Amino acid sequence: MTAIPVGTVRDAPSEALSRMDGWPASSVVIAREGRDAQVACDGVVCSARIAFGCLIEPEPDDHVLTALVDGTIWITSVLERHSDVPPRLWADGDLGIVSGNGTIALSAARTVEIDSGTKVRIAAPEIDLHAGVARFVLDELLQVGRRISWYVNRLRSMGELVETFAEHVLTRAKRGSRFIEGSDQMRAGYIDHRAEGTYQLQAEAAFVTADTVVRVDADQIHMG
């Protein structure tokens, strides 16, 4: 799009301007680039500026309300849109939506999208998330908290490397199974394994070594 000159009425024929009934007036947007636009009012095409308070971004063919202030035509609001272009809140700099003593609700029949070029920050004493399906695609996840509780019917975790660093790890389960294709190593200062029923060790070759004592105690011991 070619550059649009700064909004003035000086480039419009004076006799055409004199036929205008007055301002504010209803105009039609012809073209827009940034905060500069061209509008048609009463058959006259003039350059205009989009006012700071016009948060809905005007698009071509929009019916807008214009005002003449100190020789400059200002688009103050969008009255009606005949195209399928969705309305968009527009601000050159930072934009804040504040409710001093109430609730801010975002609702859509289909999708609510939040897109940021750098960062999205959510801060609240409590966050509730309710969804049928939740998908998180992350390159890196850092979670810092005092307590985490999971209540799920099924939990699956897949990864190339899983590392856990904790002062105390407690696992309670009704049944447990581990399938490891390669080696399995455990090193500890003290190991205590107890079974109420059968405790079975089976291997192609088994070695039990100790620096001082190896003790086997039972009512019956079968070897061979």
Residues 34-85: tens digit of each pLDDT: 899 999 987 889 999 999 989 899 999 999 999 988 888 999 999 999 889 9
Cα separation, 172 vs 82, whole angstroms = 63
Q: Kindly report the pTM of this predicted structure.
A: 0.58
Place of tokens 């399995």: 184
Fold category of 14-80 in CATH:
SH3 type barrels. (2.30.30)
What average pLDDT score do residues 196-213 get? 91
pLDDT on residue 23: 62
Residue 49 CB coordination number (10 Å): 20
Cα separation, 223 vs 145, whole angstroms = 53
Contacts of 12 (CB under 8 A, 6+ apart): 44, 45, 46
Place of tokens 């934009």: 95
Phi and psi angles of residue 12, each rounded to the nearest 5 degrees, phi first: -90, 145
Pairing state of beta strands 72-80 and 44-50? parallel
Could you say which DSSP state residue 3 is in? P
Tell me if 7 sits within 8 A of 48, measured CB to CB. Answer: yes
What average pLDDT score do residues 14-23 get? 48
Residues 165-202: tens digit of each pLDDT: 888 988 988 899 989 988 999 999 999 999 999 989 88
pLDDT on residue 14: 46
Tell me if 8 sits within 8 A of 70, measured CB to CB. Answer: no
